[in-house]
């Protein structure tokens, strides 16, 4: 890269000479700053001192503290190694050169571990490749550091956060009076490619906080992180090339492991998402272990662009947004039909599964949120206002209101489990820059429900929740992944209660019969949870459903019930659960999953009646209005006399009407319609009554392929 080949022999070349050489190269490239930031030279000088100390300590430990250790591999095989000497990479090479080459990161005793970091004692060892979610996050985190190095060299600003995200990574930088243009992406990508070619090693150091405050004194954002986030005397930094950054790690062995990298987009954001803080420039990227995967990703992105729910929503006149109410969707009649059909679908499931629907207030006094704990941690994301010198807020979730419902009178064990469902309108004060169609909004509704139950009922209730989501996702044609997240380090409550609850969740998942993954320590502080990710038609995963146990909210609201033994201080457990999640977001996912070709039962355009000519228009209107519309079907009639019959049929097919019913004098005489589908499959003439009967059956049964089954 522009910097690193000057610094890679920093021990044999003076930092001053290196800086001069960098300045010359930057001038030649005609893409650089007016002067090289001095902080890079100062940072490297201090780092070299710290690195020598680290290497000396490691050499001492290897020489004086090393001992034979036992390492248990994934398949149960036990191998021997030496503490402070043997690394996961060395063991990987001993197993298979292919495995060593493909391994992204190690996992030692359940903790992610750099492949070149020496083992310290007896341990279990896993070697993770890119197809593992944790390894993928590490891979993208390392890619973010490559991007950060390129950004620091090109813009010279202050790097902030550079995390992996769900699909790739991004890095934020503070650049005063400057934004990022897409025309600069090729220059940044070229720098990244050079960094990758150099195979810069990722080096890890643990350093005292006060030393790091000196190292990063040029960057107020890194100093904020150190002062506000780091609660320990020491923390870790990572180096690749001239880049040195605060980072927990771990990382890939070297930058050469990133085989294909692309800069995707840029945007503005605020420091830590707070609108009263500095504006930062955020650059997004994606990377893969080979170019074939990158090409496949690009193909999916192109398909996703064609399926974008915002495009479909506009073309099909489903919804729109307006600047006068940002983040709040206007659902047009056909969009409202979609919305209500989804809610009616869930309501039907609620009745079958003994959920009771309730209606709760939208506005609550802030005292409620203080009691629930949301005010202390979430108030910035709430719309609050003053009424008669009291602070109120629009509810961002339903659970505290449901706690008031449970507590409004004495409860008995005979009432449990109590399943309260609520489609109440929720508001969250998302930053304007993060709003994105229906996937990120300020006003939304959820198929939200809370189950109040005993500890002993957890397993059966979780089983019911899993069956619920399988049934719903089956109708949509989604496959899904299950992830159990267990007790984190900062958990609250009794460890025995946690153990018992986690065991019941595991039993429920095992009995469910679907494969599931364990995410140790990834649960919420108030209870373990099951996360569910659905897979759409183009292979993307979306998290919608959640099943979350909560031991703390019943304590905060002092919820009790009378047990079988007469004890009136029994504490219930709350299960938070949703299947669709946000109805708005689910509509976006479904629109993109189906590509706008809605299944018949959900379609906002089910039937188009097309008259052969003007003499058939009255019959066409009668068929549509008096029969199909009256039967509860979303039906229209095309009376545009400027279009030919074939043009009308084609227009209806392009508009994604599931069925096109052509009517002429013959059909009128027989009280019939001539049926064809949006894919131009002709079913021929059928009586109106038979057609209605079939279509009503399709609507009720929610079959995905009504057009073929007709």
CATH number at residue 679: 3.40.50.800
Residue 368 located in a structural domain: no
pLDDT at 32: 45
Burial class (CB in 10 A: 0-12, 13-18, 19+), 481: middle
Please confirm whether the linkage preceding 417 is cis (ω < 30° from 0): yes
559 and 697 fall within a common domain: no
The CATH number linked to 273 is 3.30.980.10
Q: Which helix (H) or strand (E) holds 55?
A: helix 38-64
Task: Render pLDDT for 187-210 as a digit per residue (tens, 0 to 9).
Answer: 999 999 999 999 999 999 999 999
Residue 470 located in a structural domain: yes
Closest by alpha carbon to 441, among 498, 381, 366? 381
508 and 628 fall within a common domain: no
475 and 579 fall within a common domain: yes
Residue 330 located in a structural domain: no
Do the beta carbons of residue 168 and residue 264 sit within 8 Å?
yes
140 and 117 fall within a common domain: no
Show the tokens assigned to 412: 């008995």
Q: How many domains does the chain have?
A: 4
Task: Render pLDDT for 556-579 as a digit per residue (tens, 0 to 9).
Answer: 999 999 999 999 999 999 999 999
What DSSP designation does 200 have? P
Residue 404 located in a structural domain: yes
451 and 572 fall within a common domain: yes
433 and 556 fall within a common domain: yes
**pLDDT class of 17 with cuts at 50, 70, 90:** low
427 and 554 fall within a common domain: yes
588 and 613 fall within a common domain: no
pLDDT at 275: 78
- Asked if pLDDT for residue 292 goes beyond 60, the answer is yes
Q: Please state, for a pLDDT cut of 70, what percent of the chain lies above it.
A: 95
The CATH number linked to 84 is 3.10.20.30
- Asked if pLDDT for residue 273 goes beyond 70, the answer is yes
Task: Render pLDDT for 461-478 as a digit per residue (tens, 0 to 9).
Answer: 999 999 999 999 999 999
- Asked if pLDDT for residue 28 goes beyond 60, the answer is no
Task: Render pLDDT for 363-392 as a digit per residue (tens, 0 to 9).
Answer: 999 999 999 988 988 888 899 999 999 999
- Asked if pLDDT for residue 3 goes beyond 50, the answer is no
pLDDT at 611: 96
Residue 319 located in a structural domain: no
581 and 550 fall within a common domain: yes
Closest by alpha carbon to 359, among 448, 403, 445, 423? 423
Neighbours of 349 (CB within 10 A): 17
Residue 674 located in a structural domain: yes
Which of residues 433 and 553 earns the better pLDDT score? 553
211 and 93 fall within a common domain: no
Of the CA atoms within 13 Å of residue 472, those in its CB half-sphere come to 28
Task: Render pLDDT for 487-541 as a digit per residue (tens, 0 to 9).
Answer: 888 888 888 888 888 998 999 999 998 889 888 888 888 888 999 999 988 888 8
pLDDT at 407: 97
**Looking at residues 671-700, what average pLDDT do you find?**
95
**pLDDT class of 36 with cuts at 50, 70, 90:** low
356 and 208 fall within a common domain: no
Q: Measuring CA to CA, how many Å separate 707 from each of 608, 635, 679, 710?
A: 14, 15, 8, 6
519 and 547 fall within a common domain: yes
List residues with catalytic annotation: 399, 428, 446, 448, 450, 529, 576
Domain range for 268: 133-302
Mean pLDDT, rounded, of the chain: 91
Residue 298 located in a structural domain: yes
**Looking at residues 477-485, what average pLDDT do you find?**
92
Residue 328 located in a structural domain: no
pLDDT at 21: 55
φ, ψ (nearest 5 deg) of residue 236: -105, 150
**Best-predicted range by mean pLDDT among 9-13, 39-43, 179-183, 403-407?**
403-407
CA dist 341 and 338 (Å) reads 5
């Amino acid at each position: 890269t522009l910097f690193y080949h000057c610094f890679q022999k920093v021990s044999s070349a003076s930092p001053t000479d290196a800086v001069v050489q960098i300045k010359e190269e930057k001038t030649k490239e005609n893409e650089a700053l007016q002067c090289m930031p001095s902080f890079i030279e100062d940072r490297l000088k201090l780092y070299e001192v710290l690195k020598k100390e680290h290497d000396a300590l490691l050499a001492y430990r290897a020489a004086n503290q090393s001992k034979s250790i036992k390492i248990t591999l994934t398949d149960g095989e036990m191998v021997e190694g030496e503490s402070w000497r043997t690394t996961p990479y060395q063991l990987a090479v001993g197993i298979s050169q292919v495995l060593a080459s493909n391994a992204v990161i190690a996992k030692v005793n359940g903790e992610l571990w750099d492949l070149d970091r020496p083992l310290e004692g007896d341990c279990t060892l896993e070697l993770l490749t890119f197809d593992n979610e944790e390894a993928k996050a590490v891979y993208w985190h390392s890619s973010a550091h490559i991007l950060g190095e390129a950004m620091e060299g090109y813009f010279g600003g202050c790097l902030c956060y550079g995390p992996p995200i769900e699909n790739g990574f991004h890095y934020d930088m503070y650049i005063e009076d400057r934004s990022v243009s897409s025309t600069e992406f090729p220059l940044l990508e070229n720098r990244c490619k050079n960094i990758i070619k150099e195979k810069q090693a990722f080096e890890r150091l643990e350093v005292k906080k006060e030393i790091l405050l000196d190292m990063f004194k040029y960057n107020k954002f890194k100093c904020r992180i150190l002062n506000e986030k780091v609660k320990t005397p020491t923390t870790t930094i990572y180096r690749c090339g001239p880049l040195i950054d605060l980072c927990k790690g771990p990382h890939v062995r070297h930058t050469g492991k990133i085989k294909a990298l692309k800069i995707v987009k840029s945007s503005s954001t605020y420091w830590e998402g707070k609108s009263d803080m500095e504006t930062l420039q955020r650059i997004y990227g994606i990377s893969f272990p080979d170019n074939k995967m990158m090409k496949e990703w690009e193909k999916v992105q192109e398909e996703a662009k064609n399926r974008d729910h915002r495009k479909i929503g506009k073309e099909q006149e489903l919804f729109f947004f307006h600047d006068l109410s940002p983040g709040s969707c206007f659902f047009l009649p056909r969009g409202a039909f979609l919305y209500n059909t989804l809610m009616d679908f869930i309501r039907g499931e609620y009745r079958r599964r003994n959920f009771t629907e309730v209606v709760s207030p939208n506005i609550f006094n802030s005292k409620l949120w203080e009691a629930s704990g949301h005010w202390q941690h979430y108030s910035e994301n709430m719309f609050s206002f003053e009424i008669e010198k009291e602070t109120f807020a629009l509810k961002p979730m339903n659970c505290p209101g449901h706690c008031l419902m449970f507590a409004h009178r004495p409860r008995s064990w005979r009432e449990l489990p109590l399943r309260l469902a609520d489609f109440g309108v929720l508001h969250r004060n998302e930053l304007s820059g993060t709003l994105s169609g229906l996937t990120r909004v300020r006003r939304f509704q959820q198929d939200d429900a809370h189950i109040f139950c005993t500890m002993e009922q957890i397993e059966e209730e979780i089983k019911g929740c899993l069956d619920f989501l399988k049934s719903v996702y089956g109708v949509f044609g989604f496959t899904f992944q299950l992830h159990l997240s267990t007790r984190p380090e900062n958990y609250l409550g009794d460890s025995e209660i946690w153990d018992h609850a986690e065991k019941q969740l595991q039993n429920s998942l095992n009995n469910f019969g679907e494969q599931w993954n364990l995410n140790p320590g990834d649960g919420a502080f108030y209870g373990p949870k099951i996360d569910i990710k659905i897979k759409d038609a183009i292979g993307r995963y979306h998290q919608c459903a959640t099943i979350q146990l909560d031991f703390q909210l019943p304590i905060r609201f002092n919820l009790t019930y009378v047990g079988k033994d007469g004890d009136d201080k029994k504490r219930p457990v709350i299960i938070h659960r949703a299947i669709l999640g946000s109805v708005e977001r689910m509509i976006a996912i479904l629109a993109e999953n189906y590509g706008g070709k809605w299944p018949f039962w959900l379609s906002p355009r089910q039937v188009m009646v097309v008259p052969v000519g003007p003499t058939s228009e009255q019959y066409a209107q009668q068929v549509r209005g008096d029969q199909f519309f009256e039967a509860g079907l979303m039906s229209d009639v095309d009376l545009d006399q400027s279009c030919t019959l074939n043009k009308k049929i084609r227009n209806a097919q392009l508009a994604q009407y599931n069925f096109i019913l052509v009517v002429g004098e013959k059909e009128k005489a027989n009280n019939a319609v001539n049926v064809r589908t949006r894919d131009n499959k002709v079913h021929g003439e059928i009586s109106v009554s038979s057609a209605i009967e079939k279509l009503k059956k399709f609507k009720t049964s929610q079959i995905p392929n009504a057009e073929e089954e007709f």
